Amino acid sequence: GQSMKDLFRFSVAYWHTFRGTGSDPFGAPTLKRPWDDGTDSVENALKRVDVAFEFMTKLGAEFYCFHDRDVAPEAPTLKQANANLDKVVAKLKDKQKETGVKLLWGTANLFSHPRYLHGAATSCNADVFAYAAAQVKKAIEVTYELGGENYVFWGGREGYTNLFNTDLNRELAHLAKFMHMAHDHAKAIGFKGQFLFEPKPKEPTKHQYDFDAAACLNFIGRNGLDGVIKLNLEANHATLAGHSFMHELEYARIHNALGSIDANTGDLLLGWDTDQFPTDIYLTTQIMLVILEQGGLKPGGTNFDAKVRRESFDPVDLFHAHIGGMDAFARGAKIAAAIRKDGILPEFVKTRYASYDSGIGQKIDTGKASFAELEKYMLEKGEAAPNTSGRQEWIENLINQYV
């Protein structure tokens, strides 16, 4: 019953698409943007807004996402940085009104500036904690002003390298305090957007506090933030953690915490966070199976947190890359819908639990029985160890039937 548009809620990532240079850790920028001299001035930032909204309008993207420092320049003082942001946000607001493109989420960049060397909310320096708080306060305010439907916290450098000089318990406590302060401020100004944590392991710090969905959910639960913070899950971050993306999505979904996705694809052999555009319909089918099960992502969406690296000199390639990503999602959605409709998967799942539904589960309530009662049951039964083979364990090729 729901339209494809409502299902995807596609979004363009401002940082990659309008600020990305094509550089990688081994080489200098390649992308040339004739309208942009590359300097981080307010004047340039305002010019970029025109290009960005022309791009998004032509693409037919419904949403965009940004960090404070993608849209407006960093400055020597907080006061100046906030003034820069206000100037650009005024123009973003006009452009949103003019084009109908909406803000899926805003966020603060708490990782690029050298002050965040040891993290932001988990920094050992109280001035840095205060600066980060002020920066997030402002970023929540402009997200509210622009009608943002969510607000994202990607941990950036919230983690540590060496435990000998790190008070892990204290840093987690600082982070919890910070998140409660952010929530309090959102409430105070009337911002109703959903807060989202974005898990990511290993980069940039060795031990990230937001390693994966499970680590984030544990933090959320033990700090009284259930529901206040849901998750923005990214495909490449899942593979970096050694998970499949489908695992991360389903793990979040069953905890009622699947908020939004950063759509991309990474190196399946772990590797690093390459943020490539998604083109693989096996991946998008898996994603859409979970999203359909949840009944959509709203107020979240499908944000292309993806870039072209040193494979391109021409920003037009970014346009084609987004089309390719949207196409991969549309195909994945069709396949996932067909799989759900034929009922084969639920049947596989059901037969897997046959012993609960028709065997031991009927004779003895495995959930209520004691270990001693279960032992007595097995001793009386007198059979050899139960054999669970014979069920279909490897069904990934199912997708091939629909391609």
Give the residue among 366, 367, 363, 369 at the shortest CA–CA distance from 381: 363
C-alpha span between 95 and 63 (Å, rounded) = 12
152 binds, among ligand GCO, Mn ion, none (CB under 5 to 8 A by kind): ligand GCO
* Full DSSP string of 322-357: HHHHHHHHHHHHHHHHHHHHH-HHHHHHHHHTHHHH
- Contact, 285 vs 339, CB < 8 A? yes
Q: Which of 194, 275, 278, 287 is the binder for ligand GCO (CB under 6 A)?
A: 275
* Closest separation in Å from C-beta 134 to ligand GCO: 18
Q: Which two tokens stand for residue 124?
A: 């050992």
Residue 171 vs 234, nearer CB to ligand GCO: 234
Q: Which positions are annotated as active-site residues?
A: 67, 70
- The CB-side HSE value for 185 (13 A sphere, CA atoms) comes to 20
Residue 212 vs 273, nearer CB to ligand GCO: 273
Sketch the per residue contact string, 327 through 366, with ligand GCO: x for CB under 6 A, - otherwise: ----------------------------------------
Ramachandran category for residue 89: left, alpha or beta (phi over 0 → left; psi -120 to 50 → alpha): alpha
Sketch the per residue contact string, 288 through 327, with ligand GCO: x for CB under 6 A, - otherwise: -----------------x----------------------
Q: Which residue, chain included where needed, has tokens 């998750």?
A: 231
**Residue 152 touching ligand GCO (CB under 6 A):** yes
Alpha helices per DSSP H over 295-315: none
Alpha helices per DSSP H over 20-167: 42-59, 68-71, 78-99, 126-145
* Closest separation in Å from C-beta 341 to ligand GCO: 33
* Positions in 106-125 near ligand GCO (CB under 6 A): 107
Positions touching Mn ion (CB under 5 A) are 234, 236, 262, 273, 275, 305
* Positions in 228-247 near ligand GCO (CB under 6 A): 234
Residues that bind ligand GCO (rule: CB under 6 A) add up to a total of 11
Q: Which residue, chain included where needed, has tokens 């390459």?
A: 274
Residue 321 vs 399, nearer CB to ligand GCO: 321
Which residues are near ligand GCO by CB under 6 A? 67, 107, 152, 154, 198, 200, 234, 262, 273, 275, 305
